[in-house]
Structure 1
Amino acid sequence: MVKQISAALFLLILVGFIVYNEIDKENEASESTSELTEYDVSGNTEQEGTAMTAPNTPGGLEVGDQAPDFELETLDGETIKLSELTGKKVILNFWATWCPPCKVEMPEMEKFHQEYGDEVEVIAVNATGTESNRSDVASFIEEEKYTFPIVLDEELKVNNDYQVISIPTTYFIGSDGKIQEPRKVGPMTYDYMLEVKDALE
């Protein structure tokens, strides 16, 4: 009788141990899949993608928040101060030359800027602190002939203020200086920008 109880206890402990191990393995698997995968694309800008992280990644400023003010230098050596644009609608885009999805949306941004630049300010904040060389930014913009303002975030302070955790990320600021539409993570289309333009006040 004692041997039967001992055997049953041993079997129960063994089953419990196996179940515990399986649950632990599943937890590790789910944790590893939920972690962001980072890609070094600094040497290859031809890679395809939609965004550097998933669009539903938590974080970032919310609708109704006051857009943090900043003053950054443009490629032309002038400065842009966000608070001086109060009264205008602003599309504030965060990007870098090494980001393939950013390159996908920039022609769309240029088309929008050419047609609606008098209604909406399109400002592209380059994450200059992540670039291998500042001159790469100027060369890229000149080569592609983009005309919307490019400002240089050398110390990534503005990226941090806007809690940008992946690029491209875009914020939509109303004439009241507040974020009026949910941020967009991933490349924008021309049609998407049209929708946002009409939604902003």
Structure 2
Amino acid sequence: MIKQIGAALFLIVLVGFIVYNEVGKEETDTSGELQEYDASGDPSQEGTSMTPPNAPSGLQVGDQAPDFELETLDGESVKLSELKGQKVFLNFWATWCPPCKEEMPEMEKFHNEYGDEVVVLAVNATETESNESDVDKYIEEEGYTFPVLLDKDSEVNNDYQAMSIPTTYFIGTDGQVQEPRKVGPMSYDFMIEMKDALN
């Protein structure tokens, strides 16, 4: 008899706890919107994914930029090592990434103004796209003219440890990373600073 009373009391307390929690949730969040949290601890980093604390930190200044060969949306082949002697902004992005979309007009403006001084390569994380045709459609609709490369198996994203996007590497004429990578959207003025910093 005592066991049955104890079990009944336990059940009542448990049900009460569940009801209390559910009512509390409804009262504290009536917006119906997703909550955003900064888990990075670094407010200057504005990527679209969280990176584990023990994850690789990417290529460092002075590292040789890993060579790769990818196709553009037009089917042309671009090999990074063939651009040695030129300054290169290597940008990793995706169509589903809001900060990427934020920086694209700035990149287009920069490309139009300084495309003869700096090669802008936008490497799409194609493996993460719902459909490869989404990339072509987005670029065409927005009228972007800088080269867009398709990283269909994420090999280049992995080589450059682009865990959060957008991520941009700044490669000098010597083929080395010459400035710290930028995680998050770039502004036009920031791109000019990076152009002037590279040699």
Specify the SS of the correspondent of 1:171.
strand
Partner of 1:87: 85
In 1, Cα distance between equivalents of 2:57 and 2:68: 20
Partner of 1:67: 65
Once the two structures are superposed, the pairs formed by residues 147-158 of structure 1 within 5 Å of their partners are 147-158=145-156
TM (norm. structure 1) is: 0.74
- 1:66-85: CA deviation from partner (whole Å, max 9, x where unpaired): 00000000000001000000
Partner of 2:174: 176
The percent identity for this pair of structures is 71
Partner of 2:162: 164
User: Which residue identity does 1:148 align to in structure 2?
Assistant: F
Partner of 1:99: 97
Partner of 1:139: 137
Partner of 1:16: none
Specify the SS of the correspondent of 1:123.
strand
In 2, Cα distance between equivalents of 1:35 and 1:184: 18
Specify the SS of the correspondent of 2:145.
coil
**Structure 1 counterpart of 2:185, from 184, 187, 191:** 187
Q: Does 1:123 align with 2:121?
A: yes
In 1, Cα distance between equivalents of 2:126 and 2:139: 13
Specify the SS of the correspondent of 1:139.
helix
Q: 1:137 to 1:34 in 2, by over 3 A?
A: closer
User: Which residue identity does 2:140 align to in structure 1?
Assistant: E
Q: How many Å apart are 1:51 and its aligned residue?
A: 2.0
Specify the SS of the correspondent of 1:158.
helix
Whether contact under 8 Å (2:88, 2:118) holds in the other structure is yes
User: Which residue identity does 2:181 align to in structure 1?
Assistant: R
Specify the SS of the correspondent of 2:120.
strand
| Number of equivalences | 157
RMSD: 2.2
Q: How many Å apart are 1:52 and its aligned residue?
A: 1.3
Runs of 4+ with deviation above 4 angstroms: 33-36
Specify the SS of the correspondent of 1:125.
strand
Whether contact under 8 Å (2:122, 2:146) holds in the other structure is yes
Partner of 1:52: 48
Consecutive unaligned residues of structure 2, counting only runs of 5 or more, are 1-36
Partner of 2:28: none
Specify the SS of the correspondent of 2:65.
coil
Q: How many Å apart are 1:50 and its aligned residue?
A: 3.7
User: Which residue identity does 1:188 align to in structure 2?
Assistant: M
TM (norm. structure 2) is: 0.75
